[in-house]
């Protein structure tokens, strides 16, 4: 057993895109979709809980840029607006 890592931490699959360098959001979306399909089809992942996606926003040269809300404040955490009814957690 790994010391310092919880059971939950050992069950996290990390997909890294560092080797792609600076890419557009459209290219990232395509890469994410393909990798999620691979997790499902090749690795047998069927469900996830508490997934998190970190986006290091940059300009086309790779220089860091803050993510700004339309009203001007900097966004550090974005809660998804995707809705999943709680009734799906129970078999009716």
- Span 63-87, pLDDT tens digits: 999 999 999 999 998 877 777 666 6
The full set of domain ranges for the chain reads 1-92
| Mean pLDDT, the chain, whole residue set | 85
Dihedral of CA 28/6/85/44: which sign? positive
Give CA torsion, residues 53, 55, 56, 62, to 10 deg. 130
- The reported pTM is 0.71
Distance linking the first and last C-alpha atoms of the chain: 39
């Amino acid at each position: 057993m790994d010391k310092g890592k919880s059971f939950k931490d050992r069950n996290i699959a990390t997909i890294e895109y560092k080797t792609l360098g600076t890419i557009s959001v459209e290219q990232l979306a395509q890469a994410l979709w393909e990798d999620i399909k691979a997790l499902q089809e090749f690795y047998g992942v069927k469900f996830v809980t508490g997934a998190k996606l970190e986006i290091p926003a940059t300009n086309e040269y790779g220089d860091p840029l803050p993510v700004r809300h339309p009203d001007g404040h900097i966004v550090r955490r974005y809660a998804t607006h995707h809705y999943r009814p709680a009734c799906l957690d129970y078999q009716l």
